[in-house]
Amino acid sequence: MCLTIMPQSSNKEIMKLIGDIHRGMRRSHAAIHCDLNDITLLQFHAIGIVYDYKRVSMGELSEEIGIAKASVTALVRRLVSSGWILREMQGDDRRMVYLRLTPHGCTSFRKLRNRKARTFESVIDGLGSKDKKQLLSILRELKNQLQNS
């Protein structure tokens, strides 16, 4: 499937819809997290990266999230103080700091991720089978376009 150039008005509508969907997902995220340790979307994203990597350096986390190392340091400081993440030094080199989840962080992240997945699945389940296939095809093509640009 090749995406064709659309008139500007269609592009604007697509961008508006993507923004609306993004805001809706953020509101859903906020509702899920308000009763579970009150973490932000950025913190959730960082915790998810540490969860996926099992052990990640501060530099890798900074690169994955796409924010400056100084900002990651502040983010990690908050997650360490709230019991989500542990810092580990690499031998005697204090510059090499690795992160991993605490048992609490691991358990809580799995719960949050599962709640988010169920919430999103309930929205997707409202689509018919044909619409789901179409959406999947379009999302795959968008992903490919982004990776190749």
Biggest alpha carbon distance in the chain? 59
Instruction: Sketch the domain layout of the chain as residue ranges.
Output: 25-113
Give the model's pLDDT for residue 36.
57
Length of the chain equals 149
Read off the pTM: 0.70
Give the phi and the psi of residue 90 in degrees, each rounded to 5: -90, 95
Beta-bridge partners for 98: 57, 88
pLDDT tens readout for residues 9-37:
788 888 888 888 878 777 776 666 655 55
Q: Please give the C-alpha separations between residue 84 and each of 110, 117, 135, in angstroms, as whole numbers.
A: 12, 20, 35
Q: For 50-108, write each residue's pLDDT tens digit.
A: 999 999 999 999 999 999 988 999 999 999 999 999 999 877 777 788 999 999 999 98
The CATH architecture assigned to 25-113 reads Orthogonal Bundle (1.10)
pLDDT tens readout for residues 94-144: 778 899 999 999 998 898 888 888 888 888 888 889 988 998 898 899 888
